[in-house]
Amino acid sequence: MTHLPTCLLIVTVEIDPAVEEDWNQWYDEVHLPEALTCPGILRGTRYLAARDASLTDHGEKTKDGAKVYAAVYELESAEALDTNAYRNMAVRGWGRFTDRIRVRSQVFQSL
């Protein structure tokens, strides 16, 4: 049986195409490697949505064609996000992109 993580941090980002190349370089070369040095963050990888999102709201279905990236981090526990190392790393570098991205971050724990 495959090991499944018990705690995940999932970050999804829609990026202004004008800064997408710079964003990807920063995320891949700076942010992700730094995140993986934080205590309690075990693994992380990035994904790009392969198709449009299918949205269902109160029975109404639509498609969303936005380009969406996701980063999935395996955590020892949700407390990994309470460390000084994580808090300091999490804000570093985002500033130059904040007005050009839409971000959703959420922690999930197994039931």
Q: Which one-letter amino acid corresponds to residue 59?
A: G
For the chain, the straight-line distance linking the first and the last C-alpha, in angstroms and rounded, comes to 18
User: Residue 77: phi, psi to the nearest 5?
Assistant: -165, 170
Q: What is the mean pLDDT of the chain?
A: 91
Place 54 in a pLDDT band, splitting at 50, 70 and 90.
confident
Structural domain contains residue 1: no
Please name which of 70, 68, 75, 69 lies closest in space to residue 107, comparing C-alpha atoms.
75
Considering the domain boundaries, does residue 34 fall inside one? yes
The CATH number covering residue 97 comes to 3.30.70.100
What is the Cα–Cα distance from 111 to 109, expressed in whole angstroms? 6
The domain containing residue 98 runs over which residues? 7-109
Residue 91 pLDDT greater than 80, yes or no: no
Is the pLDDT assigned to residue 65 strictly greater than 90? no
In Å, how far are 65, 91, 101 from 51, measured between CA atoms?
Answer: 8, 29, 19
pLDDT tens for residues 70-79?
Answer: 999 999 999 9
pTM: 0.88
* DSSP for residue 13: E
Assess if residue 31 is contained within a domain.
yes
Is 23 part of a structural domain of the chain? yes
2 within a domain of the structure (yes/no): no
Choice between 7 and 61, residue whose per-residue pLDDT is larger: 7
Q: Which comes out higher in pLDDT, residue 66 or 81?
A: 81
* Number of domains present in the structure of the chain: 1
